[in-house]
Amino acid sequence: MADINNSRGFTSNIGAILAAAGGAVGLGNIWRFPYMLGQNGGGAFLLIYIFFVFLIGIPLMMTEFIIGRRSQSNAVGAYRKLAPNQKGWLILGILSILGGLLIYAFYSVVAGWTLNYLMLACGGKLAGKDTQAITQTFTNFTQGTWWPLASQFLFLILTGAVVTMGVQKGIEKISKILMPALFILLIAMCVRSLTLSGASQGLTFLLKPDFSKIDSHCMLAALGQSFFSLSLGMGCMVTYGSYIQKSDKLFKTSAWIAACDTFVALLAGAVIFPAVFAFGMNPASGPELVYIVLPNVFNSMPAGNLFAIIFFLLLSIAALTSTISLLEILVAFGVEELHWKRKTSSIISTLAVFIIGSICTLSFGPLKEFHLLDRTIFELFDFLTASYLMPIGALLMTIFLGWFYPKVEVKDELSNGGKLKVRAFNLYYLILRYIAPLALLIILISGIVG
Ligand code: TRP
């Protein structure tokens, strides 16, 4: 068994942790987390966020890993194997593929921006500009046609190349190089940021909870962010779970990934807020926080351009390991269900994403006026996936594993066939059957009502 498993998936536990942590750590941590925290009450948001990561995030990640490793299959094949007589569950698999496609389509827009900003920083093109000029750079670039499309395309090609090389020689190998690099760059940025004069105000904002700021809006934002950041509900961790060795411990693996993901979000906060406060910028400025606010910050500090390069390199690396995980959902489906070669599957998936993704890119420029449900296409995809597809996907997964799949089989997979003592199994099962579905229903309903 171990041999078959080895040739198919990750070669070691550390490889699995780094690859899945690479999928989890991404723009969600360094771009989305800081602006969500900035807009939703600072330290209070952080506290709730961490609470949800541990209470719901880790059990849900274990759930996806169990489904994937038990079935040894991609996001659709998993239900074909685990519930051969209940074809309805295939819809859940198809939802995952669709969700992965939509997320990758809008995610690759922002990933393309990071690449462009990295090039701008390397060419010294952000240096010496005033606030207005930096804002202008951002709007001119994102509202254009060819440059943003080219940046997005380049990012898709880069991702496609890694995924084509396979799970071991592509995904696992590059994660083992890029994840440590990411940590080193992030720590270097942290040291710089924390030694700015006036940094402590930013740290206070990040770490000191103001309990009066906790309301339902803040809770929902934190729960949604924990989902997005841990890559849950879209079959990403089902696919990666199918590559985890049978001898690895699923609880330990999930806990490590969640810890890495939370640590990176915290470090990103510790980079961004001290700098934002030290230079009197607005922490609640929204999605452009890292593209408009930070370049201003870099320009006001010594050796700013060097730090701009380090920062956008870091952001590109984080984005790349995540786009790899998004593409792998689609490629694994193509290879295992449609019997395409890996390369063919990568090419077809990448092209499909580019066609849909280019509409997302253009929705900042030429298609800006085109609105559906009051949103641009980019906003619509973000909204649909975060508010509906991810919680629905996760809810159905908990119902599948908690209510339809036999409990003994769940325990068997989590305990590696009875070899491990899983002391907290009853706690996990309680969360799986009741707590997680309830929390997910609340997000869904409040999303529909609000
Ligand atoms: N978690 C990633 C981030 O924080 C984004 C991501 C990658 C994702 N794969 C996913 C989100 C699958 C949902 C589902 O940037």
What would the pLDDT profile of 338-353 be if each residue is shown by its tens digit?
999 999 999 999 999 9
What would the pLDDT profile of 153-162 be if each residue is shown by its tens digit?
999 999 999 9
Q: What spacing in Å lies between the alpha carbon of 125 and ligand 1's midpoint? A: 30
Q: What spacing in Å lies between the alpha carbon of 424 and ligand 1's midpoint? A: 27
pLDDT of residue 7: 64
pLDDT of residue 444: 82
Percentages helix, strand, coil for the chain (3-state, rounded to 5) are: 80, 0, 20
CA neighbor of 235 nearest in space, from 133, 102, 359: 102
pLDDT of residue 273: 92
Helices (H), 144-215: 146-164, 173-194, 199-207
Burial profile 41-56: b = 16 or more Cβ within 10 angstroms, e = fewer: bbbbbbbbbbebbebb
* Residue with CA closest to ligand 1 atom 14: 231
Q: What spacing in Å lies between the alpha carbon of 321 and ligand 1's midpoint? A: 10
8 Å CB contact between 402 and 432? yes
Whether the per-residue pLDDT at 208 is higher than 50: the answer is yes
The Cα–Cα gap between 75 and 77 comes to: 6
Ligand 1 binding pocket (C-beta < 6 A) is: 23-24, 26-29, 103, 228-229, 231, 234, 236, 322, 325-326
* Of residues 181 and 301, more confidently modeled: 181
10 Å Cβ neighbour count for 369? 7
Burial grade of 294 (CB within 10 A; 0-12, 13-18, 19 or more):
buried
* Residue with CA closest to ligand 1 atom 12: 231
Percent of the chain predicted with pLDDT > 70: 98
8 Å CB contact between 318 and 29? yes
Percent of the chain predicted with pLDDT > 90: 77
What would the pLDDT profile of 304-321 be if each residue is shown by its tens digit?
899 999 999 999 999 999
User: How far, CA to CA in Å, does 335 sit from each of 77, 330, 344, 361?
Assistant: 11, 9, 9, 28
Pocket test for ligand 1, best of 234, 353, 389 (most atoms within 8 A of CB): 234
Name residues whose C-beta falls within 8 Å of residue 337's C-beta, 6 or more positions apart in sequence.
74, 76, 77
pLDDT of residue 1: 37
Average pLDDT of the residues in 182-198: 89
What would the pLDDT profile of 401-449 be if each residue is shown by its tens digit?
999 999 999 999 999 999 999 989 999 999 999 999 998 998 788 877 7
What would the pLDDT profile of 14-39 be if each residue is shown by its tens digit?
999 999 999 999 999 999 999 899 98
